[in-house]
Homo-oligomer: A and B are copies of this chain.
Amino acid sequence: MLNIAVLGCGRIGQMHARNIARHRRARLASVFDIDVPAAERIGQELNVPVAASIDEVLGANTVDAVLIATSTSTHADILERAVAAGKPVLCEKPIDLSLARVNQCAARIAGSRVPIMLGFVRRFDAGHRATRDAVRNGDIGALRQVVITSRDPGMPPVAYTEASGGIFRDMTIHDFDMARFILGEEPVEVFAQGSRLVEPALMDRLGDYDIVNVALRTASGKQCLINNARQAVYGYDQRVEALGATGLAMSENRRTHEAQLYKQAFTGQAAPYLNFFIERYADAFSAEIDEFVAAVEEGRAPDVGFDDGQRALLLAEAAIKSAAEGRVVRVSELG
């Protein structure tokens, strides 16, 4: 049994807290949030203590590991403190919006053997993973092209968008990680293009985009094409396809249920997709906890590490530069 404290009791923190509370090999040690009432609500629901400070959590013998789900700007700092305290960390993405800060954090934790896991939850989705496995197992031969479709059902709140660091750092970052997961090779070139079609006024104000596409290429010429939209009214659209020399593997969307309606004007009208990431990736969030617990118990590095968070952010930086300059950016240009 691994005793995990959850830091941050917003939407994602609550979900993690509930998952840990019902996990067979984990126990929820405590919860913390600077918004005390928020922490108390979930503490009461799950019948666990509410910690008074992060220091209290990191100093407690009853806490074996921490899950960081606080606001993004605090991730790197808490991560460094947890590592210093010898507590294994499962950290929500991104590590920080600033690549410089992430690199600084990397330098500070260098040499530590405390397990650090990044919360790229999509790697734990059974369908996406089966697609990766089809690539890795040779079921589709040498990989040639990956296509990732990733669209949110709707715009986040304005305040969230303002603090998000822009679509490439906030949303596409998941797809950059998925690209690396499927490709099994590092992209060396990035081309990105953005449009302002969902909330043009807001995007103009922020210098951000709401409809983007990215083309990545590895040194061996493998391509990965990503398309994102901040709004897809038909639901959370999460697809991955991998074209290889001897076949194609494809991970499709999942519906709320499998009932269909047939009428004079149409056939096979199906149910909506699972609404958003908490529903769509519910099983994946559990599997992520499984991996974290297993890695800590086995004293090994988790499947998704600090380095993965760093590299995904690097691709986001390259995409931002590419979209601004209208040209292919080599990842090596970013130093």
Report which A residues bind B (CB closer than 8 A): 22, 24, 45, 125-128, 130-131, 134, 139-140, 142, 144-145, 147, 149, 151, 189, 191, 193, 195-198, 211, 213, 215, 217, 221-223, 225, 227, 229, 231-235, 237, 243, 245-273, 326-328
Q: How far is the CB of A289 from chain B (nearest CB, A)?
A: 14
Residue picked from A127, A234, A262, A264, most chain B C-beta under 10 Å: A262
Residue picked from A145, A234, A265, A271, most chain B C-beta under 10 Å: A234
Residue contact B257 to A245, C-beta cutoff 8 Å: no
Q: How far is the CB of A124 from chain B (nearest CB, A)?
A: 11
Other A-B pairs beyond A126-B259, A144-B195, A249-B260, 17, CB < 8 Å: A130-B259, A134-B259, A144-B197, A145-B213, A211-B221, A229-B243, A233-B246, A234-B262, A234-B264, A246-B264, A247-B261, A247-B262, A247-B264, A249-B259, A251-B259, A261-B266, A266-B269
Q: How far is the CB of A237 from chain B (nearest CB, A)?
A: 8
Q: How far is the CB of A200 from chain B (nearest CB, A)?
A: 8
Q: How far is the CB of A170 from chain B (nearest CB, A)?
A: 19
Q: How far is the CB of A258 from chain B (nearest CB, A)?
A: 4
Bound-complex Cα distance A272 to B248 (A): 13
Bound-complex Cα distance A9 to B2 (A): 27
The residue in chain B whose Cβ has the minimal distance to the Cβ of A133 is B259
A127 cross-chain contacts in B, Cβ below 8 A: 257-259, 271
Known: A217-B193, A327-B327. A248 touches B262 (CB 8 A): yes
